[in-house]
Amino acid sequence: NAGVMQNPRHLVRRRGQEARLRCSPMKGHSHVYWYRQLPEEGLKFMVYLQKENIIDESGMPKERFSAEFPKEGPSILRIQQVVRGDSAAYFCASCGQGGDTQYFGPGTRLTVL
């Protein structure tokens, strides 16, 4: 849905660098989800956040990955020391309340060289 903004749309990083992916939810939405999609795969849940709270990060790798959704500003998915296996499309989705219909952003395609 055009209302959810993600940037950058494409990101290229070398192994060992950091990747920061940003997501601005639809206006009025305070719940954000992050998903990872590998080629020809479905979307894998990573983390679910509300403003200033991480509700469920069970899908996120324990190391190198972190997410936040501050009181002001976009939600950030941060990947430290990227490896080639991190190359994927990362989508965020927002909704008004947990369990509501999720509206997806255009995604960030991360390529690790």
Partner 1 sequence: GQQVMQIPQYQHVQEGEDFTTYCNSSTTLSNIQWYKQRPGGHPVFLIQLVKSGEVKKQKRLTFQFGEAKKNSSLHITATQTTDVGTYFCAGSDWSGGSNYKLTFGKGTLLTVNP
Q: Which of 43, 66, 78, 87 is in the footprint of partner 1 by CB under 8 A?
A: 43
Distance CA 76, CA 87 (A): 17
Q: Which of 12, 55, 83, 113 is in the footprint of partner 1 by CB under 8 A?
A: 55
* Token representation of residue 24: 């601005």
Could you tell me if 93 and 111 are in contact, meaning their C-beta atoms sit under 8 angstroms apart? no
For position 101 contacting partner 1 by CB under 8 A, the verdict is: yes
Going 33 to 39 to 81 to 108, the CA torsion angle's sign is negative
- Nearer Cβ to partner 1 (17/45): 45
Piece of 14-22, 70-78, 80-88, 100-108 that binds partner 1 (CB under 8 A): 100-108
Query: How many CB atoms are closer than 10 A to CB 49?
Result: 25
Binding-site ranges for partner 1 (CB under 8 A): 1, 31, 33, 35, 40-45, 48, 55-56, 91, 93, 98-99, 101-107
